Structure 1
């Protein structure tokens, strides 16, 4: 398995863990709401139930966004090679390693930190389309594209 494939799988795992945690939280809130409805009615009861419903809606929205991210990430072929930076590319620069896909945070694989960037992010948009040997300047930092895979 290539380094890029390992990175891709780690980001998929990270996203799946997020989805699993959101589902656990939703299940927990559902149980809390069920318990709340078994209690006697009153202002405190209705306020607590309303708060639970708001929290459930927020979690559902986060779950929806995470599922969309998961679908987009699954469309990436980690075995694909790139000559130019594009979504799905793993890029080594003078400032670190970047996986151009979605804004999923940072992982460490084989003691190398890799940041997942979307092409809509400031750095991702500047990197998009560059080739090995190209440079860019962003916020006073110089990035030299060393390798793309």
Structure 2
């Protein structure tokens, strides 16, 4: 039961991470839209056009970030924390001799019950090594050997 509670907390952390990023990008988009609307043509035409072009680039960048956030939301919707299996899958906690991982999205480090977990994407280099791993599997990441101790 404790492992399910830990998975719930980690999933909540990941969802909060995505929501915070979504809010940040939405704020940037809103700010840039207001700036674009308030841009008025001045006698310094080139400066005006350069400013608009920079704002357009920022809007495109924010749009790409928004797409990445949508993909993270889609992945989180697929995470099944109730599934228990011998092999690591989306939603698994993988305990190694070095670190603890939550296979979901790349959301960084979280502390649950005084234990550090790293939320990693299955598409990340470490995630690819963890996906499908079973207990006692030994793998090397960045030249450092890891041993899977437990899959939850």
| TM-score under structure 2 length normalisation | 0.87
Rounded to whole Å, the distance in 1 between the matches of 2:34 and 2:98 is 47
Q: Number of aligned pairs?
A: 148
Match status 1:3 vs 2:6: yes
2:48 paired residue number: 45
Q: CA deviation at 1:120?
A: 2.7
Residue pair 1:5, 1:79 contacting (<8 A) in 2 also: no
2:84 paired residue number: 81
Between 41-50 and 9-18, report the one with greater CA deviation.
41-50
Q: Which runs of 5+ in 2 are unaligned?
A: none
Residue pair 2:14, 2:105 contacting (<8 A) in 1 also: no
Residue pair 1:92, 1:145 contacting (<8 A) in 2 also: yes
Match status 1:140 vs 2:147: no
Residue pair 1:106, 1:113 contacting (<8 A) in 2 also: yes
**Map 1:45-64 → 2, pairs under 5 A:** 45-64=48-67
RMSD between aligned alpha carbons? 1.7
1:34 paired residue number: 37
Q: CA deviation at 1:138?
A: 2.7
Match status 1:22 vs 2:25: yes
1:96 paired residue number: 99
Rounded to whole Å, the distance in 2 between the matches of 1:72 and 1:146 is 25
| TM-score under structure 1 length normalisation | 0.89
SS at match of 1:100: strand
Rounded to whole Å, the distance in 2 between the matches of 1:110 and 1:27 is 38
SS at match of 1:63: helix
SS at match of 1:2: helix
1:124 paired residue number: 127
Q: CA deviation at 1:77?
A: 1.8
Q: CA deviation at 1:130?
A: 1.8
SS at match of 1:33: helix
Residue pair 1:11, 1:107 contacting (<8 A) in 2 also: no
Q: Which runs of 5+ in 1 are unaligned?
A: none
1:68-112, CA deviations, whole angstroms, 9 ceiling, x for partnerless residues?
Answer: 111111121222222111222111111111111222222223332
